[in-house]
Amino acid sequence: MSTRGKRLVEAMNKRGMKKQHALAYAVGVNESAVTRWKRDGPMSLENAMALCQTLDISLDWFLTGAGTMDRRTSPSKLDEDDSRLRSSFGRLCETMSARSKSLLIEFMDSMVPR
């Protein structure tokens, strides 16, 4: 099975994203973050979602290698789900203490395969 970093490189190539600084800019991170991701370094769920949206790839495929690279055939449903997830997550974060946020980030990072 390929690693998440190899899937990232594959997706970049298939989507014509040849420059990692362009991807970094589109996702809103430093180029060094993309370098770390290519090496299977840690990645937040928020960044994984943004990356998948930018490259128009399946989050399941990117994180686990399951299924196909292409997003589901119903983009409107996926966009709706993404929007609802981000909205719910944003509301949750507004109610959390800094310590709780830190623990949640650690937990989410532990769930993303390296």
Q: Is 12 exposed, middle or buried (CB count within 10 Å of its CB: 0-12, 13-18, 19+)?
A: buried
**pTM of the model as a whole:** 0.63
pLDDT tens, 38-76? 999 999 999 999 999 999 999 999 999 988 898 865 556
Domain that holds residue 85: 4-111
pLDDT tens, 74-111? 556 667 777 788 788 778 888 888 888 888 888 877 77
Residue 47's domain is classified under what CATH number? 1.10.260.40
Q: Structural domain tally of the chain?
A: 1
Ramachandran region of residue 96, left (φ > 0), alpha (ψ -120 to 50) or beta? beta
Secondary structure of residue 4 in the 3-state scheme: helix
Degrees, nearest 5: CA angle 52-55-60: 35
